[in-house]
Amino acid sequence: MSIKTVGPKRCSTHMPLLIKCVLHTDGPILELGTGLYSTPLLHWLASEKQRPLISHDDNEMYYQWARQFQNGYHRIRLVTDWNKLNIKGHWSVALIDQSTESRSDTAIALKDKVDFIVIHDSDSNYPYKYDRIWPHFKYRFNYTKQQPNTTVVSNFDNLEWLNDALL
């Protein structure tokens, strides 16, 4: 199995916000779309505090790769249809980085179930239809220091602390 990488410049720009949101919370974490950067990072951050983490992916190759991180706190799930994803309970952080155009539907479905939703590639409306997301959230923080941009949305927290948390 070989996973093609395109380099850290375009792939890991969500890391500063993701780290800050995880460290700012103490509850369960959702990863929607596994990756060479986010999956190991979230795995170690969650394992350190024994926090539940569930990683979902619809790509069989990424799913197989991510299974190496599965343990008592971290579950890996293969998704056949993102629109049928059944997320129960309340979550502290969710990373939306799946490879399909269902990102906007996923964010809207999670709007009242997650404290902080971290959305990678948020400066590219196509094909993700992000403009559909923004009206569903009270608060939004755009991180534009790296391309592609990352956005955090919330209906529970005004996100003002992120202004001071980032360099």
What pLDDT digit, counting tens, does each position of 74-111 carry? 999 999 999 899 899 999 999 999 988 899 999 999 99
Mean per-residue pLDDT for 53-72? 97
The CATH number for 40's domain is 3.40.50.150
Predicted confidence at residue 131, as pLDDT, reads 93
> Tell me, what's the pLDDT at 95?
98
Confidence (pLDDT) at 86: 87
Total domains present in the chain: 1
> Is residue 79 in a domain?
yes
pLDDT-derived band at 126, boundaries 50, 70, 90: confident
Q: Which of 24-28, 29-33, 142-146 has the lowest mean pLDDT?
A: 142-146
Residue 140 lies in a domain: yes
Q: Is residue 1 part of a domain?
A: no
Q: What pLDDT does residue 94 have? A: 98
Does pLDDT of 5 surpass 60?
A: no
Could you tell me which residue, 2 or 84, shows the higher pLDDT? 84
Look at residue 30 and give its three-state secondary structure. strand
Confidence at residue 6, expressed as pLDDT on a 0 to 100 scale: 47
Does residue 146 carry a pLDDT above 70? yes
Comparing CA positions, the residue from 54, 52, 62, 58 lying closest to residue 26 is 52
Enclosing domain of residue 81: 8-165
Tokens 């629109």: give the residue.
83
With a cut of 50, say whether residue 7 has pLDDT above it: no
| For range 105-130, the mean pLDDT | 94
Beta bridge partners of 114: 91
What pLDDT is attached to residue 101? 87
CA distances from 83 to 23, 60, 104, 108, 125 (A): 29, 18, 10, 11, 19
pTM above 0.85, yes or no: yes
Residue 35 within any structural domain of the chain: yes
Cβ contact 125:153 at 8 Å: no
Residue 85 forms part of a structural domain: yes
